[in-house]
Chain A
Amino acid sequence: MTASAALAGAAGAAEPAARPLRIALVGNPNCGKSTLFNALTGRRQRVANFPGVTVERAEGEYRSGAGAVSVIDLPGTYSLSAESPDEAIALDVLLGRAEGVPPLDVVVIVVDAENLERNLFLATEVLELGRPTVIALNRVDRLERAGLQIDVVELIHELGAVVVPVVATRGEGVDRLRHAIDRAASLPRATLRLADDDAAGDDDHDAHRRYRWISRVIDRTVTRRERRTQSLSDRVDAVVLHRVWGPIIFLALMLVVFQAMFSWAQPLANGIQALVALTATGVRAALPPGEFRSLLVDGALGGVGSVLVFLPQIAILFLFIGLLEDSGYMARAAFVMDRYMRPLGLHGKSFIPLISGYACAVPAIMSTRTIQQPKERLATIMVVPLMSCSARLPVYTLLVAAFVPAVTVGGLFSLQGLTMLGMYLMGTVAALLAAAVFRRTLLRSETRALIIELPAYSLPSPRVLFNSAWQRVRLFLRRAGTVIFAISILLWGLASYPRSSTASSSPAAQEQQLSHSALGRLGHAIEPAVRPLGYDWKIGVSMIASFAAREVFVSTMGTIYGVGHDGDDTHALAQRLRDERDPATGRAMYTPLIAVGLMAFYVFALMCTSTLTMTHKETGGGWQGARWAALQFTYMLVLAYGMAFLIYHGGLALGLGGGA
């Protein structure tokens, strides 16, 4: 910052109409920086205990006595060595050379009072830049419990900067901090110089020199009233990080999350479905039959409904992820699982996105942001869609109900249940193997050693949790919703035009219309390609339609067979599929072998526009993102086709292809 900028800040104090004061929050991961950002601006923003989660730039504004103040929340970082992208961004913003970010007037360093020594490392680096700085000494309420006492006046004297004690979670001291920020802009700057005998050497000695200086400051400012014995966090960690209990506890927690996503989300999803159906009925009643009504009901509402139905699962997943992160458990989970992920070339942190993939690949891909190493993150993104997501469930349910006999195996397990489990296992094993292949070929790099800070456990604030889940839900609605909406309209157009001569709405006429439409013709056109898998044009059409979203397979089959327009009548549809005969031979058209092959196809194929959109966005967007998304789509399609082909022809060779 320049003197003129400082003066501009001072002028801003006198004249509210002047440009807003620009400030940035900088601090270690887990120092409560994002919570302070919320407390300052009132704006909802993601906050977590997992190091490095704030990878996006978050901005907000508030009004103080001096006028508008614009706040930028920088990624959590341990130093300004610009080694990681987070550190590079923080340094660029602080030096006023970041693209699209105007120079700052004041820097606010957020320091965790409980971890003062480690936090002062970054603080001294920032203070050396010579910017007008205010230090927010956060979590002073925990000092008592930790048996610590900090002499704030002495700290101000040592650091040469204003230090304001705050408790961000309760908003305590925030007004004083705002006042200090207003004043700091107009105060003369002072650059911190570490008074040390050692000359500033290379990086290796810098840490030593800096910590030695900090150590002296700590001696003068911090009084440790008593030596803590084992803290509560240590006692919990003795169990949670245990070699045997650790993974068991983690898997049990994941089971709860998984169960919640399936069972808790179901009533909400049903409610949304009912609401969409009610709206569709309303529109049908209000508008005369015709193209426009069909576009609204079948195209727009159908498309939006198919996205909305996943919202409860996404919200629940992110509530749980938020809970695990904010409580401090997520860093432990990464540590516990690292041992198992390392042989695959993945980081412990990759496990959460992979598990989340069981619910929906879209939020799972979003959650890979916590993985710092780009190639490990990319490999995780590439394989996440192989985990069987909830959208595959309707497809599995239909085919299992239709073709797998409801018998018990070993007097305990149902064959239908085992088949379902087999599909999930197939996807999981494929994802792990694919990750290992990616990490040894295209995305080869040394797996980064796990060096992770385990923050003290804390009770998450429900407000922050709900806000963070809401942010993710909004992001999902905005990014995936718009694309799937557009594709739904396109699919509706392809399925509706050109119109066949029959005007009747009977099931036979609907089937004829579909066959006559562009989509039907496409189905016929690809029939030679799907014939080797044992499929006819009808499955071909359903497959093409479900490239936008897998669950469309069921509704399209429903449309083709004229059963339950919304595909909700799975039982009747399953019966129709079993009864379907090949017109030429009179034999059953669909056999259990074809059904298993088809399920395998759905296990591997990436039939989800929302996932592709998310991959595109998260792998860099533009041409680069498009290349990764295309690669992801292609390798999964090749896998899907290959597996379905192997299963069908392998089965035939073994004499399993017989239909009734």
Chain B
Amino acid sequence: MLKFLRRRRHSPSSASIRFSCPDDCPLASCPIGFCALVVGLSCHADEARRLRTLGVFEGARVGIVDTRSGILLDVRGSRLALDVKVARTIRVRPLAA
């Protein structure tokens, strides 16, 4: 689904080279076009519950669609917009672009 975006904004090879985050990192640091595995949520309990309900739970796979203003995620086919503050509290493990 994200092929088009990846091709336009980040060629996968160059993005992987530039993006040196092989281990866990905050979701807010993930580049556009990457997929990531959610590792932990350290936000407010209410926010964490809401995120989990919407499909962003530990072990879930999310796609980073846009990070230019806030974070736009692809969560199981639906689009979820988060502000950067909450995206910083979500730890993810980036998967191959």
Which A residues contact B (CB, under 8 angstroms)?
78-79, 81, 83, 114-115, 117-118, 121, 203-204, 207-208, 211, 227-231, 233-234, 237-238, 241-243, 246, 331, 335-336, 338-339, 342, 446, 448-456
Contact = CB atoms under 8 A, between A and B. Distances in A.
A450 B51 CA distance: 11
Contacts of B43: 449
Interface size on B, as a range, is 35 or more
Given A83-B46, A121-B53, A243-B68, A338 B75 contact: no
Tell me the dominant secondary structure on chain B's binding face. mixed
Q: Which 7 A-B pairs have the closest CB atoms?
A: A207-B52, A230-B4, A449-B86, A454-B79, A450-B83, A79-B53, A243-B69
B54 A78 contact: yes
15 contacts: A203-B49, A230-B1, A233-B79, A237-B72, A241-B68, A241-B72, A243-B69, A335-B69, A335-B70, A338-B83, A339-B70, A449-B44, A450-B82, A451-B80, A451-B81
Given A331-B81, A446-B44, A117 B55 contact: yes
Contacts of B5: 230, 234, 238
B80 A454 contact: yes
Interface string B52-76: 1111011110000110111010011
B1 A454 contact: no
A577 B18 CA distance: 71
A123 B4 CA distance: 33
Nearest to A114: B77
B53 A207 contact: yes
Interface of B: 1-5, 43-44, 46-55, 57-60, 65-66, 68-70, 72, 75-83, 85-86
Contacts of B48: 204
B64 to A, nearest CB: 12
A450 B70 contact: yes
Contacts, number: 121
Given A237-B65, A241-B69, A242-B69, 11 more contacts: A118-B54, A118-B77, A207-B57, A230-B5, A234-B65, A238-B66, A241-B68, A339-B83, A446-B44, A451-B82, A453-B80
Nearest to A233: B79
Contact of B69 (A246, A331, A342, A448): A246
Given A237-B79, A243-B68, A336-B69, A81 B85 contact: no
A246 B3 CA distance: 23
Contacts of A237: 65-66, 72, 79
B86 A451 contact: yes
A320 B82 CA distance: 26
B81 A335 contact: yes
Contacts of A331: 81
A458 to B, nearest CB: 13
Nearest to A336: B69
B81 A450 contact: yes
Contacts of A78: 50, 53-54
A490 to B, nearest CB: 47
Contacts of A227: 1, 3
Nearest to B75: A118
B77 A115 contact: yes
Contacts of B57: 204, 207-208, 211
Contacts of A339: 69-70, 83
B97 to A, nearest CB: 15
Nearest to A342: B83
A243 B69 CA distance: 5
Given A230-B1, A234-B65, A452-B81, A83 B54 contact: no
Contacts of B76: 115, 117-118
Contacts of B78: 115, 118, 453
A201 to B, nearest CB: 12
A454 B82 contact: no
A451 B69 contact: no
Nearest to B43: A449
A418 B85 CA distance: 39
A342 B85 CA distance: 11
Given A117-B55, A118-B75, A452 B4 contact: no
Given A81-B49, A117-B77, A449 B83 contact: yes
A114 B78 CA distance: 9
A125 to B, nearest CB: 10
Nearest to B54: A78
Residue of B1, B43, B60, B83 most packed against chain A (CB within 10 A)? B83
